[in-house]
Amino acid sequence: MNPRDSAVVLGYAPGQRAPEVLAKGRGLVAEQIIALAEEHQVHIHKSPELLEVLIRLELGDEIPQALYQAIAEVIAFAYQLKAEPPV
């Protein structure tokens, strides 16, 4: 996400070739996406540079291979957070 003005939702399931764009938006749509993520305790990663590339993709598009490393780091971080016990 970009501080509350844009958001992209990525989805990935084991066996999938690459994560894909599930939802995206700017303005009010981004605010709704962020609010839902917070409500459901979904990891929110803030990276304006990454977001500017992802927001240009269409719904259902897989992320480009050039972004695999960056997205893998985000996914690994999110899984690490999920595995840590709450403080």
- pLDDT score of 85: 61
Q: Are 75 and 11 in contact (CB under 8 A)?
A: no
Give SS3 for 72: helix
Q: Split the chain (87 residues) into runs of 10 and give each run's mean pLDDT.
A: 77 88 95 94 88 94 93 84 68
- pLDDT score of 77: 83
State the CATH architecture for 6-83.
3-Layer(aba) Sandwich (3.40)
For the chain, give every domain's residue range.
6-83
- Residue 1 DSSP label: -
- Please name which of 36, 30, 40 lies closest in space to residue 3, comparing C-alpha atoms: 30
Tell me the whole-structure pTM to 2 decimals. Answer: 0.80
